[in-house]
Amino acid sequence: MAGDQTVVSTNNHFQDFIENIQDSGINPPETIIPDGKLHRFSSNGKKVDDSGWYVFFDGAVPGGCFGCWRSGFKQNWHAKIGRSLTSREKAEFKASLKSCTGNPQNRRSQASHKFSGKGR
């Protein structure tokens, strides 16, 4: 699946996030850390693989993004909160998504992964 997408959750936000990762064809991590930082995991179940990645933030509207560097897949996600997001919540969600690729530390980690030969 190409391009960025946003998926909305319907249940427990941690479980929904994991299920969305799995539904995308990526083996999900065993645990989700809601700290807004980049976390790497095996996207194919092999211990030496760490092409899978996610960023998860918990708050008024839990959300994040995940993907696989090997395939180039990326997807945005936020929890369903029982109503439409306000303009402020939409802006906060969009700003939080910058941690997926906008943070220089995350970009360095991505570049390190790519140049290590693991991203191919």
pLDDT of residue 12: 83
Residue 11 or residue 82, greater confidence: 82
Q: For the chain, what is the largest distance between any 2 Cα atoms, rounded to a whole number of angstroms?
A: 44
Return the closest-CA partner of residue 69 out of 101, 47, 97. 101
pLDDT of residue 5: 52
Distance CA 88, CA 17 (A): 22
The answer on pLDDT for 67 being more than 90 is: yes
Is residue 17 situated within a structural domain? yes
pLDDT tens-digit readout, 25-54: 999 998 899 999 999 999 988 888 899 999
Is residue 1 situated within a structural domain? no
Task: Output the average pLDDT for the chain.
Answer: 79
pLDDT tens-digit readout, 78-89: 988 888 999 999
Domain limits at 108? 6-115
Contact 7, 20 (CB under 8 A): yes
pLDDT of residue 13: 87
pLDDT of residue 120: 44
Q: Locate 34 and state its tokens.
A: 């809601």
- The total number of structural domains in the chain stands at 1
Contact 10, 16 (CB under 8 A): yes
**Cβ count near 38 (within 10 Å):** 19
Is residue 28 situated within a structural domain? yes
Percent of all residues in the chain with a pLDDT value above 90, rounded to a whole number: 41
Contacts of 82 (CB under 8 A, 6+ apart): none
Is residue 120 situated within a structural domain? no
Residue 10 or residue 60, greater confidence: 60
